[in-house]
Each structure stands twice: as C-alpha cells, then as structure tokens.
Amino acid sequence: SFCTLLVVSKMRHTSLGVVVAAICLAVASAHATLHLAARAAPTATHASVTNGPLESITVTGTHYEVGWAVGNRFAALIRSRWTVDPGMEALYQWAMANATVSNYNASWYGATKRLYPKLLDEVRGVADGSGIEFSRIWFMTTHHELGAVQEAFTQSAGDKPVPPPDFNMPPVRRVGHCTDVRSDVPYGAPLWGHNEDSGIAEGNHTYVVIAKIVDEHDRSRVLENFTSYSYAGSVAGVAYGWNHHGLIVSLNALFSRLSNLDRSQTTDALPRGIVNRALYAERSVDDAVRALQGMRSVVSFSANFGHFEGGEENRFTNVEVDPMGGFSVTRSTHRVFPSTNGSAFFHGLRNYLYHANEYLWLTTPQYNDTSSAWRIKRLNEFAPPTTVADVRAMLGDTKYAAWPVYRNGLNGIMTLSTAVFH
C-alpha cells in the first residue's frame, strides 16, 4: 500500500499554514531515506526535512531557492520516478524528437516566462538542485499537455487518423486522477475529502512541500506560504494543498475531446501545472476563481476550492475548465444546481458534492471514464456525509472491486494518498 491519510483540521490551521493534525497514517511501504552528496546551495533562510512514511521538506527562500532545495533533497526520488516508469521516458524521447511537439512546447514555455517568470524559476531551481537537465523537469510539468497532443494526433479526419509529421508516438496514457467528496455548512468550515489517484509508478514518488516564498530584494517580505502534496520532480500544486490564508485547493483530471493546441500558441495558454501552482498565491476562494478566469490552460481540469474560515466569499466552489476557454463555476447554495449525472445532493441547509474525472457542469465533449462512472455510482449509494468518519468511509470504499472508489492498482491506477479537511 502506498496510501497516506492526512487529516487537516481547522483548529490546527496556523499562520504557517503547514500543520497536519494526524500525519502520515497507514503506510506500509515508506519512502527510503535518501542520502545525497553535498552540493553548493543558493542562500536560503531555512530548510529542514522530515523523514517518515511520507517525507516533507520545510523551506524558506526565493522561488528559485525553494525549487533548488526541493530538487536537491529529493534528487534520488526524482531520478527513480524516471527509472520505474519506462512509459514516461518513451514519451519524453518522442516529444524531444518531434518538431511539432517542440513548437507547442516552446509556446508553453514562452507563455510561462512572460506571465509567471518566478514559477519558471521554481522549475529551474528543481532542475539545478537535482542535477537533472531542465528539459526533463519541464517535461514533468507539461506531461498533461503532451497527452493532449497525443490525443489530437490520434483523432480522426474522416475515417483516417491524423499523424504528426514524424509519427513515432508512444501509446496514449489517459490517467484518471482523483475523487472529491464534499459537504458544506453555510459560513462554516469545510468537510471535504480528496483521494489522490495516479499511476502505480507514482507510488512512493511523492512528498510534501511546505514553502515560504520571500521577495528576492526584501527577504523580510513573504510572498507566499503554502503546503502542497507533490509529485517528485513536478511543480508543486498539481494535487492538493492549502496556504496560510486558509485557502484549500484540490484538482481532478478531465479529458476533453476538444483540442485547441494551435490557438494555444497565440493566446498565452499555460501548462496546467503552472496554472494550478499559481492558485496557491490567492487569499480567498473568490480570489482564486478570479485568478483562474484570467488564465488560459492548455488542457482541461476541475479545481475545487474551500477555506478554513468559511464565510460568504469562501463557499465551497468547483470550477471546470476546458481547452476552448469553457469555464463553469458552481458554488454551494440552497438550490439544486444542474448536474449531468446526479452527483450533487442537497438536504436542508447542507450541500453535498462528489466529483471525479468527468465533467458535471460544462457540456464539453469528453472521453468517457469508466472508473469515474463507477466511483460516482458508489458514492451516490451512501447517506450524505456528516462526519470525518463518513468521508473516510466513502473515499476508502472498495465494494465494486473492479472499479473501486479507493483504487487498488487495477487498470494501472492507485490511490496514493487521502486528505480530509475539516
């Protein structure tokens, strides 16, 4: 088992934004302790590491320094991720050799450099700290986009597939990430659980980044302060986490059939990883929604927002994004909002929402995800959750063994960790 349970309590939320009430339970296969050769490090105010079932790093510094510290600490884990996943290496080699993909990649890099240069510094810091070439670390930030390129290359025109100019493409890997179960009391703290699902190869290749970002010109000025469950080598923020303002974020993969790759080169479309990471700078749910509306993502995803402080502007919110600019905001209210598959429930003053890897609100054409359909079916069979124990029971359910909520490695996908916020 790779799974870790984190229970994050409102009472334990502090100005550091980093406290976990019940840390790292139920891990049978812990990360190995890593021993790295000493390297000359950039000046950072603070960095410390916690070893255990799920390793974490606490670091204070500039964007680059934080990235460097993470890369340096987890260099062996990042290299291991490449070793245990031959499919990732095959996709990387194809992407590097394919001229069409290189043009897309250059546009994503350029958009990030123009709009979020400091986040690009974080990516570069991970590369420099780990001693792994930047192109590989950048690939780990853009693999969602490369999957979209693969999908576009295999869509048919008439009755024939459309290959890229130098077609030698690895198989498309569509990995359904994550399940969210949410219950909301008006103006109250959230009751919210998230299963982080990914490929088996990702097992034991995650860690927690607890980062305080300071201004490079005035190190007493704190720009960001966040905690993020992170994949080895990938930019922080693509799974779930929270910041010191109390904002909570989780993500669900979505699989649009629409492709907007050519337009992405002229609209400053950003890799999903950069879009997701940028959300951790926001103060409230409203701020995060506005920020997301102001960005264009190359690929689809669902973002879930909540806040430890509750309040009107911090109501439970789900945002669905598609690559054509489609944008849907669904907020907790006392009315039934539209759903295409019955995954929203309301009872009295409490709202219930379950989200997996299919669109609920946008009518965007999508690839059907069998696992999502079965997960939602099973969650609908439960009474609406009212306690942390209820949420844990729902997210840990394996009744439908072929397509469980708590994913067991069948079809190549596992639940890597479960977080409960309350």
Q: What is the pLDDT along the chain (422 residues), one digit of tens a residue?
A: 444 566 665 443 333 333 333 333 222 222 222 222 223 445 455 555 554 578 999 999 999 999 999 999 999 999 999 999 888 999 999 899 888 888 889 999 999 999 999 999 999 999 999 999 999 999 999 988 888 888 777 764 444 445 555 567 777 777 778 999 988 654 456 689 999 999 988 888 999 999 999 999 999 999 999 999 999 999 999 999 999 999 999 999 998 887 777 665 667 889 999 999 999 999 999 999 999 988 889 899 999 998 887 666 667 788 999 888 778 887 765 333 344 444 444 333 346 789 999 998 888 888 889 999 999 999 999 988 888 999 999 999 999 999 999 999 888 899 999 999 98
pLDDT confidence of residue 390: 93
Rg (alpha carbons) of the chain, rounded to whole number:
20
Backbone angles phi and psi of 23, in degrees to 5: -95, 130
pLDDT confidence of residue 238: 94
| C-alpha dihedral sign at 235, 102, 300, 263 | positive
b/e per residue 184-206 (b: at least 16 CB within 10 A): beeeebbbbbbbbbbbbbbbbbb
CB 332 within 8 A of CB 348: no
- Give the whole-angstrom CA distance, residue 372 versus residue 84: 26
Residue 113 CA, chain-centre distance (Å), reads 21
Strand partners, 381: none
